[in-house]
Amino acid sequence: MTITPAQIQSASQALRSVLRFDYPADSVLSHFFRDFRELGARDRAFVAEAVYGVLRRKRTLERLCGERSSTRHLVLAWLARVEGTTLRQLGEGFHGRDTDFFTEIKGRELGEVGLAEAADLPDWLAERLSAFMGPEEVLRLAQSLNRPAPLDLRANPLKLDRDALVDKLKADGVGCAPGRFSPLAVRLEGKPALQKHPLFLDGSFEVQDEGSQLLGFLLQPKRGEMVVDFCAGAGGKTLLLGALMRNTGRLYAFDVSEKRLGKLKPRVARSGLSNIHPVVIASENDPRVKRLAGKIDRVLVDAPCSGLGTLRRNPDLKWRQSPEALAELTTKQAAILASAARLVKPGGRLVYATCSLLPEENEAIVAAFLAANEAFVPVSAEEVLAKQGITIACGEQLHLTPAGHDTDGFFAAVLERKA
């Protein structure tokens, strides 16, 4: 594919806005595309790839560029060093200063680099990971997080089963295969746009990372139960839980964000589910939460977290997060878990989950909770999944990583209130 000077110009302009880190990269990019409607589909794809590509390898590219680290230089360096673009693939119209820089960067030695630089992570994050992993493991993890994520779908079993979905998609020319772990997962080849596909519009599938699907199976809600998805957001997991309940019982979708919960509505309409009850709560201590104390069979706490397990999709997060923000998050996580646990009835279960890779947001939160709540005992995640025919050698708590499972990074622990 030939790259044009105009594409480099657009990518460098978009990157400049993204690198202010005032807002998430995906929302900055959607604003950018709204402001520049004249950009065609290929130009937009190039801009998005370049921006995400630079975010993934920012440290390496900045080091290579040295003092010439303008966004234009970063985009050119990304093409030269990460994408392996050749001088010939740069189309007509480039200035000599661009092509000279491009050629120079191609041959430039990176020199000796420390772990954080080699992993394209901020120092603080490389240090946190190094506290519980060896340097090679940190590097392997970081490299897996620096690759774009594949696209996974989840079949809606109320509409059709997973194998039928695979067959129908293939018949439509969409390359795909059953997922590796989740009985409802379908992994796509490439990233086809499916938002207008009839099977999406009729609710036969949703887009959902396979790791995220496994959290629903870990909660394992049953027909007719009372279930709470405490941090439901736009309902990625709520929809799966509702389907696992076979559209029976009552499933409360709580969240403090009305905007996020609002996005659940059209998804519920497509899915054919009628057992979901979205409730905007003021905080984890909302009186509506208290009214359900001791009445709920299964509670999912998909806690707000650093999101570092999703760096494949949100590479800006590693530059936007900070140790200070993390400290605030862990306080919030502990408070949400403590409140959500009050809902669980004797013999009922709670799943605490995050898409973080850091023990302070994961094991430490669960350990502190168990130490303060003798009524709860841990249940083996491996056994819960094995009983549903899902084989993952994870032991008591589930840890998913892109390096180990080719899913986003997730942590989950199953806790049961003694009968």
In this structure, are residues 83 and 40 in contact, taking their beta carbons and an 8 Å threshold? no
DSSP E strands in 200-295: the ranges are: 205-207, 226-229, 250-255, 276-280
In angstroms, what CA-CA distances link 313 with 145, 148, 211, 355, 404? 9, 7, 14, 12, 17
Query: Which are the contacts of 134, defined by CB distance < 8 A and separation ≥ 6?
Result: none
Tell the burial category of 51 from Cβ atoms under 10 Å away from its Cβ (0-12, 13-18, 19+): buried
Q: How many Å apart are CA 280 and CA 288, to the nearest integer?
A: 10
Fill in the per-residue mask, 172 to 211: x = in contact with ligand SAM (CB under 6 A), - = not in contact.
----------------------------------------
Return the range that interacts with ligand SAM (CB under 6 A); candidates 35-43, 256-264, 267-275, 366-374: 256-264
Q: How many Å apart are CA 409 and CA 277, to the nearest integer?
A: 28
In this structure, are residues 249 and 221 in contact, taking their beta carbons and an 8 Å threshold? yes
Interface with ligand SAM, residue 128, by CB under 6 A: no
Cβ closest to ligand SAM, residue 116 vs residue 281: 281
Fill in the per-residue mask, 279 to 318: x = in contact with ligand SAM (CB under 6 A), - = not in contact.
--x-xx-----------------x-x--------------
In this structure, are residues 202 and 274 in contact, taking their beta carbons and an 8 Å threshold? no
Residue 399 pairs in a beta bridge with 411
Tell the burial category of 175 from Cβ atoms under 10 Å away from its Cβ (0-12, 13-18, 19+): exposed
For the bound state, the minimum distance from the C-beta of residue 129 to ligand SAM, rounded and expressed in Å, comes to 20
Hey, CA dihedral for 352, 356, 362, 364, is it positive or negative? Answer: negative
Interface with ligand SAM, residue 408, by CB under 6 A: no
- Which 94-113 residues touch ligand SAM, going by CB under 6 A? none
Cβ closest to ligand SAM, residue 232 vs residue 413: 232
Can you read off the two tokens belonging to residue 36? 């520049």
- Which 67-86 residues touch ligand SAM, going by CB under 6 A? none
For the bound state, the minimum distance from the C-beta of residue 127 to ligand SAM, rounded and expressed in Å, comes to 24
For the bound state, the minimum distance from the C-beta of residue 239 to ligand SAM, rounded and expressed in Å, comes to 9
In angstroms, what CA-CA distances link 196 with 176, 200, 202, 205, 411? 17, 7, 10, 12, 33
For the bound state, the minimum distance from the C-beta of residue 288 to ligand SAM, rounded and expressed in Å, comes to 11
Can you read off the two tokens belonging to residue 102? 């491009």
Cβ closest to ligand SAM, residue 120 vs residue 209: 209
Cβ closest to ligand SAM, residue 24 vs residue 135: 24
Cβ closest to ligand SAM, residue 174 vs residue 305: 305
Residue 172, marked binder: no
Residue with tokens 């400049």: 16
- Which 211-250 residues touch ligand SAM, going by CB under 6 A? 212, 230-234, 236-237
Residue 120, marked binder: no
Residue 277 pairs in a beta bridge with 252
For the bound state, the minimum distance from the C-beta of residue 332 to ligand SAM, rounded and expressed in Å, comes to 6
CA 109 to chain centre: 34
Q: How many Å apart are CA 332 and CA 396, to the nearest integer?
A: 24
For the bound state, the minimum distance from the C-beta of residue 211 to ligand SAM, rounded and expressed in Å, comes to 11
Cβ closest to ligand SAM, residue 216 vs residue 402: 216
- By CB under 6 A, name the one of 14, 241, 336, 413 that touches ligand SAM: 336
Q: How many Å apart are CA 200 and CA 156, to the nearest integer?
A: 10
Q: Is 355 a catalytic residue?
A: yes
For the bound state, the minimum distance from the C-beta of residue 253 to ligand SAM, rounded and expressed in Å, comes to 9
Q: Which candidate in 65, 231, 305, 355 is catalytic?
A: 355
Comparing C-alpha atoms, which of 287, 380, 381 is closest to residue 339? 287
Count, residues near ligand SAM per rule CB under 6 A: 19
Interface with ligand SAM, residue 329, by CB under 6 A: no
Cβ closest to ligand SAM, residue 46 vs residue 254: 254
Using CB under 6 A, list all residues that contact ligand SAM.
212, 230-234, 236-237, 254-257, 260, 281, 283-284, 302, 304, 336
* Positions marked catalytic: 355
Binding site as annotated, residues? 255, 302
Question: Binding site for S-adenosyl-L-methionine: residue ranges?
Answer: 255, 302
